[in-house]
Structure 1
Amino acid sequence: MKERIERLKKLTYIPQKEIAWLIEQAELSDRQQEIIEENKRQQEVTVHQFRQVQEEIQHLSGDRNRYKQALEKIITNLNFAITVAQNELEGDVR
């Protein structure tokens, strides 16, 4: 696109007003293309970050479930130990 702009600038047989308009349109088109490419790049980055966050959420959800199960086992064991201790105390009291 930039080469076309330079070629247009060198033309002399087109009225200056039309040349200026053509150059302006070409430069505008070039800027729009750069913006489109940057937006695509940012979209790709955003999609990649979203997928990473999704994977992290899944990982953390798995960790949470494992911790919950481990805590439930600890609570069950503690309840059993408390029951045993209570039974032993009641046996000593009698």
Structure 2
Amino acid sequence: MKERIERLKKLTYIPQNEIAWLIEQAELSVKQQEIIEENKRQQEVTVHQFRQAQKDIQQLSGDRKRYKQALEKIITNLTFAITVAQNELEGDVK
């Protein structure tokens, strides 16, 4: 393609078939540029979605940690309450 372009630059008269080829190449170039721009846009969307997913995962991890700590406190309190209740029952039986 470069050779053909260089040859065309040297001509003073450009035949119709060569003009058609140039137009075709220009149209292809425009289509390629549109594809490149669309790919960049899609890449930006994907990066944004990935970053949002990372934030969501961090938030869920924090939530999970807080829920786990709360559940451990509840279990500790229930275990204590059960122990107190068992001691009271044993005291009533004696």
What's the TM-score once normalised by structure 2's chain length? 0.85
State the match for 2:51 in structure 1: 51
Supply the distance in 2 between the matched residues of 1:82 and 1:69 (Cα, whole angstroms): 20
> Runs of 5+ in structure 2 lacking a partner?
1-12
User: Which one-letter code corresponds to 1:66 in the other structure?
Assistant: R
Give the root-mean-square deviation of aligned CA atoms: 0.6
Supply the distance in 2 between the matched residues of 1:49 and 1:84 (Cα, whole angstroms): 52
Please show how residues 1-94 of structure 1 align to structure 2 within 5 Å.
Answer: 13-94=13-94
Deviations 1:60-89 (A, max 9, x none): 000000000000000000000000000000
Q: What is the percent sequence identity of the aligned residues?
A: 88
User: Which one-letter code corresponds to 2:20 in the other structure?
Assistant: A
User: Which one-letter code corresponds to 2:79 in the other structure?
Assistant: N
State the match for 1:7 in structure 2: none
User: How far did 1:14 drift?
Assistant: 1.8
Supply the distance in 2 between the matched residues of 1:78 and 1:14 (Cα, whole angstroms): 92
Deviations 1:16-58 (A, max 9, x none): 1101111000100010001000100110011011000100100
Supply the distance in 2 between the matched residues of 1:27 and 1:14 (Cα, whole angstroms): 18
SS where residue 14 of structure 1 aligns? coil
> Runs of 5+ in structure 1 lacking a partner?
1-12
Regions of 4+ moved over 2 Å: none
